[in-house]
Structure 1
Amino acid sequence: MRTSLYPAVDELERRARALVRAAPDLLRLHEVGQSRAGRPLWLLSARHTGGAAPDRHILAVAGAHANEPVGGASALRLAALFAGRPELLRRLGCAWHFLLCLDPDGARLAHGWQPEEPHPSLTECHRVFYRPAFALQPESLPMPPGVPLPESATLVRILDELRPVAQFTLHGIEFGGAFVMTTRTVPGVADAFRRTATRLRVPVDRHPVDGPDWRLDPPGVLVLPDGHSAGERDPSGFVAESTWFHPRRHGTLTTLIETPAWAVPSVSDARPVTDPDREVARLGEVLLGRSRELAAVLGTRLDDAVPDDVAPLRDAARELLGVAPSIVDSWAAEEPGLFRGYFATRGISARRIPLRVAAMASRALARTDPRTVEVLDDLVREWSQELEKTYHLRWVPVATQTALHVRTMLDTARLVCGGR
């Protein structure tokens, strides 16, 4: 059977079982919960068998977002490294646990595209694009007294049982630069991440759009401020209610690692911008203009009934289109950056949002409105090509994407656990 560069949910389980068979004294795979649709959530654990059992644990979470399949590949890569070199595990002095896919339902809806290196297609990538509406993303927790998703509840239970010294959440973006978000400062972590990105030739995003209320440690590092507030500017702001923040009660360091599939060198550009206010207005108009174009094409079609299996695509597209004006408002409220990388990152976001809407709406309407789908598919192709030309996209091999995850996890674990 061919090994996929981005493993599907079933392949993650199959490859994990193969690793366990090859190293049964070191690795264990067990089901820790189920998704909303009843799919199993698999935890792959690695424990050194010599000496006393470790009392410290590390958890790595993959597949939190349906459109980010690289995390599962990274988890398997590090587990395989431990199986082949168990002394690494012993030196770190921690048991490692890999939640192979937190959202298997979403992953199934998003799976289908496999990059054909060395020249994958951005247009084809979006033929199967899906990212759930915010309330269906299992790293998010509802404000009390809301009931969490089954996947979220499983992750919270694991965090409370393990009380890990570190939680890594493995993310990936279609195009942009690498960055990390961390819930507290650990000396050496930021520099180690930057060195890894430099060695791998992955540009670091100087000022990510994520976490607008986080403290920026440029380039490419966001740190959660002390305290948290209900007055966050963005649902992912202080993550006051999330599985990132939850384990702080146990002293856990949570580190989100973001790696791009296509690199955009300009996100690292530190050269000054002469008129930042004009740049903010220009990028806002890109997003609003394309949103208006989509609204004209779609009309009320996203309000109509669609087959149940594609309803999540419709709902996600509708939500994303609806929040576009508030995103532009948040950019206008920020103190604008004075360098080109800041505007490259936001220019990418201004183009990525309508591209995602067009891609998901096309899939949602494929069986009910072929004429609208034809127009949407033209927009996906046109906007993908414009992105490639405007930002000089460079494909990052999957081996490099996973290496950024793995090396950052190992370096951070050494600094947190005191391993060699």
Structure 2
Amino acid sequence: MRTSLYPAVDELERRARALVRAAPGLLRLGQVGESRAGRPLWLLSAGHGDRHILSVAGAHANEPVGGASALRLAALFARRPGLLEPLGCTWHFLLCLDPDGAHLAHGWQPEEPEPSLTGCHRYFYRPAFARQPESLPMAPGKPLPESAALVRLLDELRPVAQFTLHGIEFGGAFVMMTREVPGAADAFRETAARLRVPVDRHPVDGPDWRLDPPGVLVLPDGHGEGERDPSGFVAESTWFHPRRHGTLTTLIETPAWAVPSVSDARPVTDPDREIARLGEVLLGRSRELAAVLGTRLDAAVPEDLAPLRDAARELLDVAPSIVASWAAEAPGRFHGHFATRGISARRIPLRVAAMASRALARTDPRAAEILDDLVREWSRELEKTYDLRWVPVAVQTGLHVRAMLTTARLVCGGS
């Protein structure tokens, strides 16, 4: 029997309640809000310290590893409550910030015994930027209910640290920190090395952040007003909101499929030509998608599939601006820099094809079939070009857990 490697969104509550029953004096579960569709937002809490730490999982629908990591660390506290005592804190886990998106992406669940990149992308969903609850609209926009619930929680807890648990489909590990913590960057790199997870030398995320290579991005002093997303959108963020309380926010990214070349420090002889070549990969595949789709994404689709259509259309529309942003960067000098951007150049059209195929499956099955063929073709090309290696879920969650514990000890002064 094939079994999912990550807990589905509905399993998170059930597993959390089982942990609470096993450690009733230490763990407790409560609801802290509702999603747009009325699904509960669950907060699992461990310990009774005066200070608070918050871990946020499931911010993006295609990243179910965060929930698995949250449950793993909570289970560790249940078995070894002494781990919390030196920190003097209560540790909270928001088990899934976007349960609606997670339901729509439920098929994005690699299965045993051999996860399939093609199979996962047949169920892929990542919301359009405005529907991602870690983002906050620029004033006077109204935040999503999930975003508002997280902001309320941050203002209530005033945590010393907030960890946001992310997982990329393929690439390398990296972290983003809203301030520098002495020792944290080296500790993260050492953890990744022990777990044999490649570290991304120069992530495409956080284009306005300061790079501490390899694999660490730090928010420059005074930055945060109108953070720019790599897709070209501007918003405030729940990463920045708790800085008013002195909170350190650390985003931890772990890959499902590792790409060793993102760590490659060898110099590139002609970086301008290389970035132009990668830009043409993205633009060429975008043109191929546009030829298949025509005006099909402008036609009516079933209401439950509209988020897929909107997300696919947005990604297709912003592809030229992404290529322009790469061209405007200071020229990269290492193979790892271009491996990361080459992955992005392939990941964006793959996501568009996957989501557009699902959106059109009921109303235009012929177009959906053509898009499915592209998903299969591009997935195979990715596997061949970048020598993808599946990262066991125990390693993915291990990176999250160890990075959280190490950083928390540095922030809180625990041993």
- TM category (shorter chain) comes to over 0.9
CA deviation map 1:152-175 (0-9, x unaligned): 000000000000000000000000
Q: Distance in 1 between matches of 2:389 and 2:32?
A: 38
Change (3 A) 1:253 1:190: same
Does 2:243 correspond to 1:264?
no
Does 2:123 correspond to 1:125?
no
Indicate the residue corresponding to 1:160 in structure 2.
Answer: 155
Cα pair 1:206 1:267 within 8 Å, conserved: yes
Give the residue type in structure 2 aligned to 1:24: P
SS at match of 1:173: strand
Q: Percent identity?
A: 88
Indicate the residue corresponding to 1:51 in structure 2.
Answer: none
Change (3 A) 1:327 1:236: closer
Give the residue type in structure 2 aligned to 1:7: P
Q: Distance in 1 between matches of 2:60 and 2:410?
A: 27
Once the two structures are TM-superposed, the CA of residue 239 in structure 1 deviates from its matched residue by 7.7
Once the two structures are TM-superposed, the CA of residue 8 in structure 1 deviates from its matched residue by 1.1
| TM-score, length of structure 1 as denominator length | 0.96
Does 2:202 correspond to 1:223?
no
Cα pair 1:213 1:237 within 8 Å, conserved: no
Q: Distance in 1 between matches of 2:209 and 2:107?
A: 35
Q: Distance in 2 between matches of 1:239 and 1:296?
A: 29
Q: Distance in 2 between matches of 1:251 and 1:175?
A: 33
Indicate the residue corresponding to 2:291 in structure 1.
Answer: 296
Once the two structures are TM-superposed, the CA of residue 89 in structure 1 deviates from its matched residue by 1.1
Once the two structures are TM-superposed, the CA of residue 115 in structure 1 deviates from its matched residue by 2.3
Indicate the residue corresponding to 2:93 in structure 1.
Answer: 98
Does 2:353 correspond to 1:362?
no
| TM-score, length of structure 2 as denominator length | 0.98
Once the two structures are TM-superposed, the CA of residue 91 in structure 1 deviates from its matched residue by 2.0
CA deviation map 1:272-296 (0-9, x unaligned): 0000000010000000000000000
Give the residue type in structure 2 aligned to 1:254: T
Indicate the residue corresponding to 1:394 in structure 2.
Answer: 389
Matches within 5 A, 1:381-420: 381-420=376-415
Does 2:181 correspond to 1:176?
no
Change (3 A) 1:231 1:250: closer
Once the two structures are TM-superposed, the CA of residue 3 in structure 1 deviates from its matched residue by 7.3
CA deviation map 1:24-83 (0-9, x unaligned): 0000000010000000000000014xxxxx220000000000000000000000000000
Matches within 5 A, 1:261-340: 261-340=256-335
Indicate the residue corresponding to 1:42 in structure 2.
Answer: 42
Q: Distance in 2 between matches of 1:242 and 1:229?
A: 8
Once the two structures are TM-superposed, the CA of residue 236 in structure 1 deviates from its matched residue by 7.9
Superposition CA RMSD, Å = 1.6
Once the two structures are TM-superposed, the CA of residue 116 in structure 1 deviates from its matched residue by 3.1
CA deviation map 1:287-309 (0-9, x unaligned): 00000000000000000000000
Indicate the residue corresponding to 2:373 in structure 1.
Answer: 378
Matches within 5 A, 1:45-194: 45-48=45-48, 54-117=49-112, 119-194=114-189
Cα pair 2:228 2:235 within 8 Å, conserved: no
Cα pair 1:213 1:238 within 8 Å, conserved: no
Change (3 A) 1:293 1:305: same
Does 2:33 correspond to 1:33?
yes
Cα pair 1:118 1:395 within 8 Å, conserved: no
Q: Distance in 2 between matches of 1:116 and 1:34?
A: 29
Cα pair 2:2 2:111 within 8 Å, conserved: no
Change (3 A) 1:380 1:336: same
Once the two structures are TM-superposed, the CA of residue 238 in structure 1 deviates from its matched residue by 11
Indicate the residue corresponding to 2:18 in structure 1.
Answer: 18
Q: Distance in 2 between matches of 1:143 and 1:30?
A: 30
Unpaired stretches in structure 1, ≥5 consecutive residues: 49-53
SS at match of 1:6: coil
Number of paired residues? Answer: 415
Indicate the residue corresponding to 2:245 in structure 1.
Answer: 250
Cα pair 1:206 1:219 within 8 Å, conserved: yes
Cα pair 1:211 1:236 within 8 Å, conserved: no
Q: Distance in 1 between matches of 2:360 and 2:347?
A: 20
Cα pair 2:70 2:93 within 8 Å, conserved: yes
Cα pair 1:57 1:94 within 8 Å, conserved: yes
Change (3 A) 1:383 1:235: closer
Q: Distance in 2 between matches of 1:304 and 1:241?
A: 32
Change (3 A) 1:201 1:117: farther
SS at match of 1:256: strand
Once the two structures are TM-superposed, the CA of residue 114 in structure 1 deviates from its matched residue by 3.2
